[in-house]
Amino acid sequence: MKVITRIADLKRLRRELFEPVGLVPTMGSLHEGHLSLVRRAREENPSLVVSIFVNPTQFGPREDFKRYPRDTKADMALLEKEAVDVVFVPKADEMYPPQFNSWVEIGGLAERLEGASRPGHFRGVATVCNKLFNIVQPTRAYFGQKDTQQAAVIKKMVAELDMNLEIVTLPIVREPDGLAMSSRNRYLNPDERRAALVLYRALTLGRRLWDDGEKDAGKIRREMARMIQKEPLARIDYVSIAHAETLDELDIVEPPALVSLAVKIGGTRLIDNILL
Amino acid sequence: MKVITRIADLKRLRRELFEPVGLVPTMGSLHEGHLSLVRRAREENPSLVVSIFVNPTQFGPREDFKRYPRDTKADMALLEKEAVDVVFVPKADEMYPPQFNSWVEIGGLAERLEGASRPGHFRGVATVCNKLFNIVQPTRAYFGQKDTQQAAVIKKMVAELDMNLEIVTLPIVREPDGLAMSSRNRYLNPDERRAALVLYRALTLGRRLWDDGEKDAGKIRREMARMIQKEPLARIDYVSIAHAETLDELDIVEPPALVSLAVKIGGTRLIDNILL
């Protein structure tokens, strides 16, 4: 497994890789969610690149960039086991040299939900992915559906800027009790870890109401919110039932609908979603 | 010479082109300025693609998008003579399908001079060039120094987004009397055509003052402006002496300095520049 820190070195190495090339972009602190992407990418591509980069530009000034978990040693061991060919671990000033001022902005889609709660977040995500795609020139890049809006934004960018790769998305991986895997779960103390279950329980409630014939999106949202509000450690950021592609909020639930939420558990902001 | 109108067709054709591939992006109405780019690109690359696309997103709402000169038939004849391999002539809705909302924004550099006078202009330029570079995947793309700020913005985008091509810039081509070649010169009536000479005369004055030892940028700007104001058909948009790379305005002239101006001659906005 080759470990590369410089863009120029990776571009040079890229010429020697067998096609097709798979890329799994990550911020490290790898868990089974990431590994599901790595394994699928490994199956589908003779060459596999994984990037580890905690991207400063997708964090707001009051967010958790500084304390975001970093554990490169453990990450490397995991990736070695998965027979990854190349790990790209650039420093921040390699990706963003002084005077850097080139940005990819996706409108519409990227302004809702996470984009509304985290201004500038998707600009940072789109820009860093655009750079990674140009550096690695992958045939396919793999993203998890936990960050479902991120995947939609990246797909829109690739389509509309005519980039030459395919975006593959894979299902959320959950803990046995239903909590969606996330690097931020490491922030939770035991009480918060128990309280965090309310996200998946609320999504499950939403699905059950829909399965039972409820079509009124407002009513389902309210029932979900009520359940979350009963959990003392939880504070709702949003509960959304939206068209799965446009992310326009729905009045009447019709598939494909994305039920998604962002909830603060103590000081930790968690997101989760299901598709109807 | 192959004429292609669809992005997917050009991407397919691209795989069969010999490397390296040159690209000359144009808005058509070709003149000797464009042809100097085409000829250089022809010399340097076994495969040569020229695009003709009057890009709506780089025109402001009160600008000349609708009346911008279009003469595809004449353009095709000129490109055929230069032995161009592929001409890409997409329709606007091929480049910008409904719901299009992905933009490349270059900060700093792109906010001065033309960027200040034409809000959104460089966002349109950067976005369309980003798309063209992804569609054609050229080894080199060629730009004229008449749009010197455009070339600087594109170079910054390519460097900072890690795109895989080289930007080549070539000198301004002038009419025998000094007027910089421009598709917009076609707008000028005979009186305006005579008045338009004031741009190059003012630049020449600026250079002469500098050659004679004047270092005070403000003084040179004022002398140039005074000359232009004497021309009744001319109205100054800006007269600038700036650092050639950052485009920061200078107090004391030191090379590399870009002397540039934008002047309205009747209803036609013209730009020109020289390097000190």
Contact A101 B163 (CB under 8 A): no
Q: Is B51 part of the contact surface with chain A (CB cutoff 8 Å)?
A: no
Given pLDDT bands bounded at 50, 70 and 90, which one contains residue A39?
Answer: very high
User: Contacts of residue B158 in chain A, CB cutoff 8 Å?
Assistant: none
How many Cβ atoms from other residues are within 10 Å of residue B141's Cβ?
Answer: 27
Q: What is the pLDDT of residues A64-114, one digit of tens each?
A: 999 999 999 999 999 999 999 999 999 999 999 999 999 999 998 889 999
Q: What is the pLDDT of residues A65-75, one digit of tens each?
A: 999 999 999 99
Q: Is B106 part of the contact surface with chain A (CB cutoff 8 Å)?
A: yes
Beta bridge partners of A259: A241, A274
Nearest chain A alpha carbon to B96 = A160
User: Contacts of residue B106 in chain A, CB cutoff 8 Å?
Assistant: 101-103
Q: Is A169 part of the contact surface with chain B (CB cutoff 8 Å)?
A: no
Beta bridge partners of B140: B22, B166
pLDDT at A84: 98
Strand arrangement, sheet containing A234-243: A234-243, A257-265, A268-275
pLDDT at B204: 98
Contact B102 A99 (CB under 8 A): no
Q: What is the pLDDT of residues A215-227, one digit of tens each?
A: 999 999 999 999 9
C-alpha span between B82 and A174 (Å, rounded) = 61
- Residues of B marked as catalytic: 34
pLDDT at B149: 96
List the domain boundaries for chain B: 2-170, 183-275
Listed residue (A18, A246, A33) closest to A139, CA to CA: A18
pLDDT at A70: 95
> Residue B113: left (phi > 0), alpha (psi -120 to 50), or beta?
left
Q: Where are the beta strands (DSSP E) in chain B?
A: 2-4, 21-26, 47-52, 86-88, 102-106, 140-144, 166-170, 234-243, 257-265, 268-275
Q: Is A10 part of the contact surface with chain B (CB cutoff 8 Å)?
A: no
DSSP state of A139: S
Contact B137 A164 (CB under 8 A): yes
Q: Measured between CA atoms, how close is A240 to chain B, in angstroms?
A: 22
**C-alpha distance across the termini of chain A, in Å:** 40
Q: What is the mean pLDDT of chain A?
A: 97
Dihedrals φ, ψ of B109, to 5°? Answer: -35, -45
Given pLDDT bands bounded at 50, 70 and 90, which one contains residue A16?
Answer: very high
pLDDT at A190: 98
Contact A137 B108 (CB under 8 A): no
pLDDT at A49: 98
Strand arrangement, sheet containing A166-170: A2-4, A86-88, A47-52, A21-26, A140-144, A166-170
Mean pLDDT by 10 residues, chain B (276 residues): 98 97 98 98 98 97 94 97 98 97 94 93 98 98 97 97 98 98 97 98 98 98 98 98 94 96 97 97
Q: Provide long-range contacts, Cβ within 8 A and 24+ apart, for B7-14.
A: B7/A162, B7/B90, B7/B94, B7/B95, B7/B135, B10/B49, B10/B86, B10/B88, B10/B135, B10/B136, B11/A162, B11/A164, B11/B135, B13/B86, B14/B135, B14/B136, B14/B137
Q: Measured between CA atoms, how close is A159 to chain B, in angstroms?
A: 9
A101, A103, A134: residue with CB nearest B163: A134
Q: Which residues of B148-165 are buried (b: 16+ CB within 10 A; e: fewer)?
A: bbbbbbbbbbbebbbbeb
Pairing of strands B102-106, A102-106: antiparallel
Pick the CATH number of B2-170 from 3.90.660.10, 3.40.50.620, 3.90.1750.10, 3.10.200.10: 3.40.50.620
Q: Is A6 part of the contact surface with chain B (CB cutoff 8 Å)?
A: no
Pick the CATH number of A183-275 from 3.30.1300.10, 3.40.630.10, 3.90.1150.10, 1.10.1370.30: 3.30.1300.10
Q: Is A244 part of the contact surface with chain B (CB cutoff 8 Å)?
A: no
Q: Is A131 part of the contact surface with chain B (CB cutoff 8 Å)?
A: yes
Mean pLDDT of A16-27: 98
User: Contacts of residue A126 in chain B, CB cutoff 8 Å?
Assistant: 102
Contact B102 A135 (CB under 8 A): no
**Residues, chain B, total?**
276
User: Contacts of residue B247 in chain A, CB cutoff 8 Å?
Assistant: none
Q: Measured between CA atoms, how close is B11 to chain A, in angstroms?
A: 9
pLDDT at B68: 95
Residue written as token pair 């304390």: A67
Tokens of A132: 């990674």
Contact B164 A106 (CB under 8 A): no
Q: Which pTM was predicted?
A: 0.97
CB-based contacts of B12, cutoff 8 Å, min separation 6 = none
B100, B104, B137: residue with CB nearest A104: B104
C-alpha span between B105 and A104 (Å, rounded) = 6
pLDDT at A92: 98
Q: Is B232 part of the contact surface with chain A (CB cutoff 8 Å)?
A: no
Q: Is B160 part of the contact surface with chain A (CB cutoff 8 Å)?
A: yes
- What's the one-letter identity of residue B228? I
Mean pLDDT of A140-145: 98
Radius of gyration of chain A (CA): 19
A102, A131, A163: residue with CB nearest B156: A102
C-alpha span between B258 and B242 (Å, rounded) = 5
Angle between helical axes of B217-229 and B197-211 (0-180°, round to 10)? 150
A100, A109, A162: residue with CB nearest B160: A100
Contact A102 B135 (CB under 8 A): no
C-alpha span between A158 and A25 (Å, rounded) = 15
Indicate which of B11, B162, B166, B167 best probes the interface with A, i.e. most A CBs within 10 Å of its own CB: B162
Nearest-5° angle of CA A90, CA B246, CA B240?
Answer: 165
Strand arrangement, sheet containing B234-243: B234-243, B257-265, B268-275
Q: Measured between CA atoms, how close is B147 to chain A, in angstroms?
A: 19
